[in-house]
Structure 1
Amino acid sequence: MHRKRTEQKNDPRIIKRSPTEVAVICSPFTSSGMNSATDGVMYNFSTHGSYLEARKKFNTGTILIVRTVGHKKVSLSKEDANPRLIGLAEIKWLKRIDDKEKHRYGIGLQYIL
């Protein structure tokens, strides 16, 4: 018997996401990665990944070091964990977000460590 995709244990769409608004710095995991660092804001996270918006465009598949640098606003319940302070994550998808003041990029990350 085949199970529906939404019933699969590792389906990222059914893993609980916790809303937040956390300032982050992210840079590619390379020897020259700090030269490409950018700031951003993490808007939600789960045990397997997170969504953030950053000023700089990276390629899908890039491994990023993501470090939280401060909470702007956090709306967590007592049952929720805090977002990771630092971690490695792979960019699974990226989309450009245009507004009147600046260009940003929405980034879907999957944690590696």
Structure 2
Amino acid sequence: MLDQHHCGAMQHFSPGRQMEETARQKTISRTALRQPTDAIVSCRPYSSGGDGRMAEGVMRNFSSDGAYIETDRPFTPGTILIVRMIRYPTMTVDPETDERPRLICLAEVRWIQERMDDGRPCYGMGLRYID
């Protein structure tokens, strides 16, 4: 069960200076516009062996190419995750793009940033969808 206070779940995301700089750098190379959300997700590595423990977290934004999630468990860059949407808030959808978060997908962890949230570690990860 998702701890409602862990990794800023159900709270407004306010990254530190280092995460803001990382996000600015990522925006430069980004090709798709990000849509904000506070969707609850679960994810686990897509593999036949190794550590398959599930992590729950919050998707903070998404695009047609990928997403940014925060969980209480880190995943190494290069890890392929199965990401499932558990719950997402009602959102306004642009009728021209009709862009919504994917309900289930495979995604590669491209980068990870650790931060503290109420004295506990939280891991923000940039994901690239695998089509």
TM-score normalized by structure 2?
A: 0.69
Q: Identity of paired residues, percent? A: 42
Q: Does the C-alpha gap of structure 1 residues 102 and 73 become closer, same or farther in structure 2, counting only changes over 3 Å?
A: farther
Query: Which of 81-90 and 66-75 deviates more?
Result: 66-75
CA distance in 2, matches of 1:109, 1:27: 13
The letter for the 2-side match of 1:97 is R
What are the ranges of 5 or more consecutive residues in structure 1 without an aligned counterpart?
A: 1-10
Partner of 2:111: 93
TM-score normalized by structure 1?
A: 0.80
Structure 1 vs Structure 2 CA RMSD? 2.1
Q: Does the C-alpha gap of structure 1 residues 63 and 35 become closer, same or farther in structure 2, counting only changes over 3 Å?
A: closer
Superposed, 1:8-87 pairs within 5 Å as: 12-32=29-49, 35-72=52-89, 74=91, 76-79=93-96, 80-87=98-105
More helix by share: 2
What are the ranges of 5 or more consecutive residues in structure 2 without an aligned counterpart?
A: 1-27
Instruction: Give every structure 1 segment of 4 or more consecutive aligned residues whose post-TM-superposition deviation is greater than 3 Å.
Output: 32-35, 72-80
